[in-house]
Amino acid sequence: MTHSAPGPAETVLPAALDEAVHRCLVAGFAGTTTVPDPLKRLVDRGLGGVILFTRNVRDADQVRELTGALRELRPDLLIAIDNEGGGIGHLVAAGAPEVPGSWALGAADDPRLTAACADALAGHLLSLGITASYAPVADVQSRPENPIVRTRAFGSDPELVSRHLRAWIAATEARGVASCAKHFPGHGGTVTDSHHDLAVDPRPYDELDLAPFRAAIDAGVPLLMSAHVVFPALDPDRPATLSPRILSDLLRGELGFEGVLVSDALEMKAIADRYGEAAGARLALAAGADQVIVAVPDLDVTLACRDAVLDALRSGELAEERVTRAAERVRRLALRYAAPRRPDAVAGWDAEAGLTAARLAVRSGGPLPRPVPGAHVVDLFPAPHPALNWGGEDLLTAWRAIDPTATGTAVTGEPEDAGIVVEEVLRAAAGRPLVVAVCDAELYPWQRRLREALLTARPDALRVSTGLPEPGSAVCAHGRGRVNLRAAAEALTGRTG
């Protein structure tokens, strides 16, 4: 009787190689108090990291218990979170420090304040048992119509971005928290959000915004995150996350980065719709990534990515040496950052740094208008981005906290009947100063139409921008973090909270 040779799917890999594959994965999951059994099994086999989201956060004590439970399963498990500050954050319910976001820090342009804000965020993370932060954003806001970077960037000048990156990275490192510069080699020159589709940066090589990433590497940043963006000048065929030319030749070879390179989330449509998450995991690791993020809480997606990598190793499609080198980088990173440095003795941080920076940013635009207490405030803004977890804070709430006599209207997303909204606003604002705030109106024609209709009827109305600064604005908040909106309200009322 003869037996056929085992197929690739039946070949058992050495235990060390199986563990190396798992080290190359970062998994999202659901739950706030218990660790799902499939995640436990992944951790048992060597899972490199987990990424937390708002869905995992109820309050500070709960997060500490959750991170403690995860670390009991595996002490060298990296526990990470997106923690950019401003409107981008998942730890509001856990008492996150209020900082204004990168664009406002760049507008204030005081690297010491940037460092103080980064220190506050990192200290808070450390107090919760989280030791890796997927921040700061190293992208340069290069295209006015870019839909995803915008106020997440420190600015549109590469040198300004670079000096604030250096300040952020140094302050985070001083806390013993791993920072991550993203999204290599830059997402600011696109007109597409890679959460929704494949983005392309058509610029020639010498116009790409690589300088901030060079600055981050020189500053010793331990993590870089890749962009799901095609750069025809570098590789016309594949997005950076899947491109050996970009990840291996450019980042490792030319720029000399020796830290851990992590992919942006594989379920983003730029990857998932064209390649699938599982193929994306295999291709990213082959291209030079050290870890791939699967942020969705459905652990079956993570398992499918894991299995695709295992199968590629069995078939020889993916080189063992590529995975073992990646896993070794992750192991070294975990030795430095996985365990908090004395979490019971986290020193305090400057709780006022964020508001100070937000106020400076508001004043950076020039003279402020005369105060308008008792105004009717119209706040027009798009619905929160589902992947970034901006909480939808509105200017009226911040305004009324310091001027209870104010009234207002918050319009989140395009209204069904703009005419009715205009009539209601004009009626409510009769006899009051009128303030009309927009957020990135150049991207949202409905905001421009509403503002124009209101200004036609009330040419005395004050214009405010809460996204990127717009010409003609009396006040620019430089972002929609709570301290951004508070600083704008203070400037317009002449009061402080």
Q: For residue 438, what are the β-bridge partners?
A: 465
Give the number of C-alpha atoms closer than 13 A to the C-alpha of residue 318, restricted to the C-beta side.
Answer: 28
Residues near 408 by beta carbon (within 8 Å), at least 6 away in sequence: 375, 376, 377, 378, 379, 395, 396, 399, 400
CA gyration radius for the chain?
A: 24
**In 311-406, which ranges are E strands?**
376-381
Identify the three-state secondary structure at position 420: helix
Contacts 24+ apart (CB under 8 A), 243-248: 243/287, 244/286, 244/287, 244/288, 246/184, 246/185, 246/287, 247/287, 247/288, 247/289, 248/287, 248/288
For residue 331, CA distances in Å to 295, 314, 370, 380 come to 21, 23, 57, 47
For residue 198, CA distances in Å to 142, 148, 227 come to 18, 13, 10
Burial class for 418, CB neighbours closer than 10 Å (0-12, 13-18, 19+)? middle
Catalytic residue among 22, 90, 164, 195: 195
Q: Which amino acid is at 155?
A: G
Identify the three-state secondary structure at position 85: strand
Catalytic annotation present for 195: yes
Please count the residues of the chain: 497
Catalytic residue among 109, 264, 403, 440: 264
Whose structure tokens read 């040779």? 5
Which is nearest to 60 in space by CA: 133, 128, 131?
A: 128
Which is nearest to 380 in space by CA: 326, 423, 440, 332?
A: 440
Catalytic annotation present for 235: no
Whose structure tokens read 């808070």? 124
Residues with catalytic roles = 195, 264
